[in-house]
Amino acid sequence: MKILVTGGLGFIGSHTVVELQQEGYEVVIIDNCSNASEDVLEGITSITGKQPLYEKIDLRNKSDVIGFFSRHPDVEGVIHFAASKAVGESVEKPLLYYENNLSTLVYLLQQLTRKNKAHFIFSSSCTVYGQADEMPITENAPVKPAESPYGNTKQIGEEIIRDTCRVCPQLQAISLRYFNPMGAHPSAEIGELPLGVPQNLVPFITQTGIGLREQLSVFGDDYPTEDGTCIRDYIHVVDLAKAHVVALKRLLEQGNEENYEVFNVGTGTGSSVLEVIRSFERVSGSKLNYKVVDRRAGDVIQAYADTSRANRILGWKAESTLDDAMRSAWKWEQKIRS
């Protein structure tokens, strides 16, 4: 059974390709390599022993999207990762984000709704909740006005899918709202490859640990949390990848209750920035050089998932601990710098 993974050379995409192949699916990847490298194909192949199909396509070119589906009429499911994801950049270049993240989604859905049956998984984010009033966050928590064009593309993306599902019963879709993905494949054959200075906490920590960065800035320790630093729900990317396979199977096996469903994907446990640093120190056996600085604009105090809906309905649960995920991130960092 052939599955299209857009953005399949990226961080979460590549790990999902591995899990799909290991479950016996045939995978075709579309990527424009704007934030990924074709070398990732080798990493995937060395884990699974099977090279996925790959087409270098920019989904903003509608005619290329049409061409792809006419060459691959046998695609039975689509997992759509391809998107831009830097919050700060999205504030500077809103139109780039709206074009990259939304026109591509529209073009894909236009092709899928021409089929008799289509199965679609969308990469969404806990960013749609903003600062939620209650922890842990359930899927029923209100979607708050987006803090950035990036966040807005995830909200609008979900609305585009919901509105389309309402009138196209042949389209079966699930949005997965990710909390904070981290880590790498335990083989260290694939992992996160941030371009330039990492904006996210974990790659900044491992790059500091390896000596590529001088010092980690901890953005604020005067938040109303136990140790004063912000709390997030860090999920091992392999657990997250597995959630995609389970969600896709639910659609392919017609086990879904509605033709559009939404699930949180997290661990259900919140960790503070200082706890993440301690985890790094435990798994690496070395001290991390860090300094507390001012808060970063736009950070929410805390965000962690209520995962009971995914646990109950998808039968999926994150299995790795923060230390497991950190160990894999550190192994990957050591491998790519060696």
Among 14, 35, 125, 307, binds ligand UD1 (CB under 6 A): 125
Stretch 228-267 residues interacting with ligand UD1 (CB under 6 A): 230, 232
Among 218, 246, 310, 314, binds ligand UD1 (CB under 6 A): 218
- Give whichever of 52 and 151 is closer to ligand UD1, judged by the CB atom: 151
93 binds ligand UD1 (CB under 6 A): no
Cα dihedral: 105, 138, 244, 45 (round 10):
100
- Give whichever of 252 and 292 is closer to ligand UD1, judged by the CB atom: 292
Whether 242 and 19 have beta carbons less than 8 Å apart is answered as: yes
Give the contacts of 74 (CB within 8 A, at least 6 positions apart): 2
Among 89, 299, 311, 334, binds ligand UD1 (CB under 6 A): 299
Q: By CB under 6 A, which span of 3-11, 18-26, 108-116, 211-219 interacts with ligand UD1?
A: 211-219
- Give whichever of 150 and 316 is closer to ligand UD1, judged by the CB atom: 150
Using DSSP's 3-state secondary structure scheme, residue 27 falls into: strand
89 binds ligand UD1 (CB under 6 A): no
Strand-strand pairing, 302-303 and 234-236: unpaired
273 binds ligand UD1 (CB under 6 A): yes
Give the type of residue at 101: N
Whether 125 and 154 have beta carbons less than 8 Å apart is answered as: yes
Q: By CB under 6 A, which span of 52-60, 168-176, 194-202, 304-312 interacts with ligand UD1?
A: 194-202
Considering only CA atoms, which of 152, 306, 296 is closest in space to residue 223? 296
Give the type of residue at 303: A
Give the type of residue at 304: Y
